[in-house]
Amino acid sequence: MKNESIKHRGLRLRNGRWWIDCQVGGKRLRQSCGTASFTTAKAILEARRTSLAQQVHLGLPDRSKITIANLLKRYLTWAKTSKRFQSYRRDLYLVAHLKEEFGGNFLDQVSIKSIEIYQAHRKNSGASERTINMELGLLKHALNKAVAWDLYSGPNVVREVKKFKEQSRDRVLTDSELTHLLKACKESRSRWLLPLVQTALLTGLRLGELQALEWRCIDHHNRRLNVEGGKTGRRVVPLPERAWHILDALPHDTDRVFPFKTVRTAWVEALKRAAIEDFRFHDLRRQYASWLVGQKIDVVSIQRLLGHRNINTSFIYLVSSWNRLLAAADKLNEFDVEPPKSAPAVAASAGTEWHNSGTVES
């Protein structure tokens, strides 16, 4: 470490971490910056000096006394009116664990170390790496909003924490698994589960898009669905004739095609009855994409059907079933890879000479 700690008054290094130690308007300020980065510590110092000066000389409230719990409450209020309902509902779930860990901390008390401890704790408790990344992504966005709302002027330390590298999924059902799943859905106590799963398989719609689907969005004459409020905004999805008959058989007594609150319990029970493991509802969308691949549909068309803005996202969904992969590998059977039944003597001799000579060809 350079001698910057000596040159910059108000900061000092202790046990590898920077600490603030200064006075503003006669008030002593001593606290840890929670970071080994001098640049970050300097930004924190300036933010605290500004906040303290405003408190002392202008009589403004100390913005550093806003807790993470306060911020997350404001964030959810904003999300309720600014985000899609599905995103807001997801945020409610993500916020719960953040409040439990950081709720009592002031905004400038969240450190890189505390976030890394949180990552380890959540992972050890069984949370997936994707979920943990989403939780910290929400916290980072909330701190950004705090700056925009003039509640906080310090650095966003969440940016400096390395995310988990998520493993991409390639789970699709075998023909046997699909048969058992549809049978289990048919036996479900929920009247909506089977048509919901069937529609997802035939259209590739996300669960949130299916839940928001209204009858007015279905154009049977042109065989298309006008999807509104989806993750990527409005889009048009072709409607297979078979999917139309499945939807048309449903009651038309409400605006929504699938007027249920949740089918989570029914879905989990169906998976258990079908003895299917490691399969999520969103994987039905991957199943849809894999069928398109099997029909040799080009990737640009698949991108449009899935509603992806970026074609690279579509490639994540382009997985092949094991049967197709095995069939592709079996095409190699036509190539002869068997050695001759009796190798010529001259070849054996040449091989011995090559070995003895020590010559190596690249």
The CATH classification number of 175-324 equals 1.10.443.10
Model pLDDT, residue 5: 41
110-130 tens-digit pLDDT: 888 899 999 999 999 888 888
pTM comes to 0.55
Q: Looking at this protein, which amino acid is placed at residue 101? A: E
User: Quick one: pLDDT at residue 351?
Assistant: 46
Query: Is the model more confident about 24 or about 79?
Result: 79
pLDDT band at 356 (very low <50, low <70, confident <90, very high): very low
Confidence band (pLDDT; 50, 70, 90) for 196? very high
Token duo for residue 11: 């900061």
% the chain with pLDDT above 90: 25
Burial 34-46 (b: 16+ CB within 10 A, else e): bbebbebbbbbbe
Per the CATH hierarchy, to which homologous superfamily does domain 65-160 belong?
A: Tyrosine recombinase, N-terminal domain (1.10.150.130)
Contact 153, 47 (CB under 8 A): yes
Confidence of residue 182 (pLDDT cuts 50, 70, 90): very high
Q: Which residue has the higher pLDDT, 59 or 155?
A: 155
* Mean pLDDT on 334-352: 55
Lowest mean pLDDT among 59-73, 118-132, 256-270: 59-73
The answer to whether residue 202 scores a pLDDT higher than 80 is yes
Domain limits, the chain: 4-61, 65-160, 175-324
pLDDT for residue 154: 77
Highest mean pLDDT among 13-22, 23-32, 109-118, 294-303: 109-118
